Amino acid sequence: MALRNIRKYGDDVLRKKCREIDKIDDRLLTLIEDMKETMYEADGVGLAAPQVGILKRLFIVDIGEGPLVFINPEILETSGTQTDEEGCLSLPGKTEEVTRPNFVKARALNEKGEEFEIEAEELLARAILHEYDHLNGTLFIDRVNSPSQK
């Protein structure tokens, strides 16, 4: 395992749409382990592949219950709203108030290639939606409540 460099705001890779992953191989599994190590070292709750310069539809989240790996995730349903301070490892030191759905239902593959569905609320829902945004080139500052704060 190795620490990866986290790309910072202004890096073009953070604004690109990621490609689907077509196979889970040793290289991808190494990337997943590296991403976990990098996320924990940076004290984050999530990390998406583009944040380490890889344009693949992959992210991990851990809100303190163990890491969840999302390969080729899809958002199936959202509902409700929650507003809270949000930050990002690619924008160190910056936080803004962001409103997101309070509930999310998502489908993805795990690192074993097994499909799963997850229903999440509050912080876990926020983390999933934040990381999912990264796969489409969207950053949390694009979603701040007051556009004048960007």
pLDDT at position 100: 97
DSSP letter assigned to residue 137: T
The pLDDT of residue 1 is: 76
Residue 144 clears pLDDT 60, i.e. is over it: yes
Residue 37, token pair as written in the block:
């190590």
Catalytic residue among 65, 74, 114, 131: 131
- For residues 119-136, give the mean pLDDT: 98
Is 18 flagged in the annotation as binding?
Answer: no
Residue 147: its pLDDT value, please?
54
Catalytic residue at 131? yes
As given in the structure block, the two tokens for residue 97 are 């108030």
pLDDT score of 145: 80
Residue spans per domain, the chain: 12-149
- 3-state DSSP helix/strand/coil % of the chain, to nearest 5: 30, 30, 40
Residue 150 banded pLDDT, cuts 50, 70, 90: very low
d(CA 58, CA 26): 15
Residue-wise pLDDT tens digits, 52-111? 999 999 999 999 999 999 999 999 999 999 999 999 999 999 999 999 999 999 999 999
CATH number for the domain whose boundaries are 12-149: 3.90.45.10
Q: What is the pTM of this model?
A: 0.95
Taking only the tens place, the pLDDT of each residue in 9-43 is 999 999 999 999 999 999 999 999 999 999 999 99
Give SS3 for 93: coil
